[in-house]
Amino acid sequence: METVQFSDALRLTELSESQLREWCGKRGLFQPTVPARGPGRLALYSWQDIIALRIYREIVSVFGGRASGWTIGIAELRRRLDGQFFPNLWGKSAIFADQHSATLGALSTARLPGAALIVPLDLHLKVIANQATPEELQGQLPLVTQLGSLR
């Protein structure tokens, strides 16, 4: 997926405009792949950013608390998504042992040290596969759309 602009990031993350601006701009809770650099220079978001932001939104909306409390864990998740091939993420989860750490893995092979917050990726992958335009999925389109339609 090529990077997408703010309006496409809004659609794919399902965040409100104010929430995306606050998290990625004003408060700096999340750094997109290409940060905005002054007036007229828009931030650009990768598919990894979109997944991380969707999970960020889900954690805050479902479990409550302050978004700022999850900044380090979400940044760790975003780093772990780098270098991943989109189709290889089906069936995996984001696993948070606490607010400051994240791993990616299949639950069947995950070693949990204790209680953990587990967010399955499939729902988020499906949204990207089904809602992203062909231009947004450039380079991974055939695999992403085929797998998305199978889920």
pTM: 0.84
DSSP class per residue in 97-118: EETTEEEEE-TTT---SS--EE
Q: Answer whether residue 108 is part of any domain.
A: yes
| 16 token code pair | 């409100």
Looking at residue 145, what is its pLDDT?
Answer: 45
Is the predicted pLDDT of residue 147 greater than 80, yes or no? no
Q: Answer whether residue 1 is part of any domain.
A: no
DSSP class per residue in 16-54: -HHHHHIIIIIS--S--SB---STT---BB-HHHHHHHH
Band the pLDDT of 141: cuts 50, 70, 90. very low
Q: Answer whether residue 78 is part of any domain.
A: yes
Who contacts 87 (Cβ-Cβ below 8 Å, separation ≥6)?
140, 143, 144, 147
Which has the closest alpha carbon to 77: 119, 109, 125? 119
Which has the closest alpha carbon to 94: 114, 74, 108? 74
Looking at residue 146, what is its pLDDT?
Answer: 44
Contacts 24+ apart (CB under 8 A), 99-104: 99/69, 99/70, 99/72, 99/73, 100/72, 100/73, 100/76, 101/72, 101/73, 101/76, 102/73, 102/74, 102/76, 102/77, 104/77, 104/80
Band the pLDDT of 1: cuts 50, 70, 90. low
Looking at residue 14, what is its pLDDT?
Answer: 94
Q: Answer whether residue 139 is part of any domain.
A: yes
Mean pLDDT throughout 84-105?
93
Q: Is 80 helix (H, G, I), strand (E, B) or coil?
A: helix
Q: Answer whether residue 93 is part of any domain.
A: yes
Band the pLDDT of 142: cuts 50, 70, 90. very low
Highest mean pLDDT among 30-34, 50-54, 97-101 belongs to 50-54
Mean pLDDT throughout 61-85?
93
In one-letter notation, the amino acid at residue 95 is: I
| 126 token code pair | 């499906």
Between residues 27 and 19, the one the model is more confident about: 19
Looking at residue 81, what is its pLDDT?
Answer: 96
| 63 token code pair | 């479990």
In terms of residue numbers, what domain contains 62? 6-150
Phi/psi at 41 (5° precision): -110, 105
Mean confidence (pLDDT) of the chain: 85
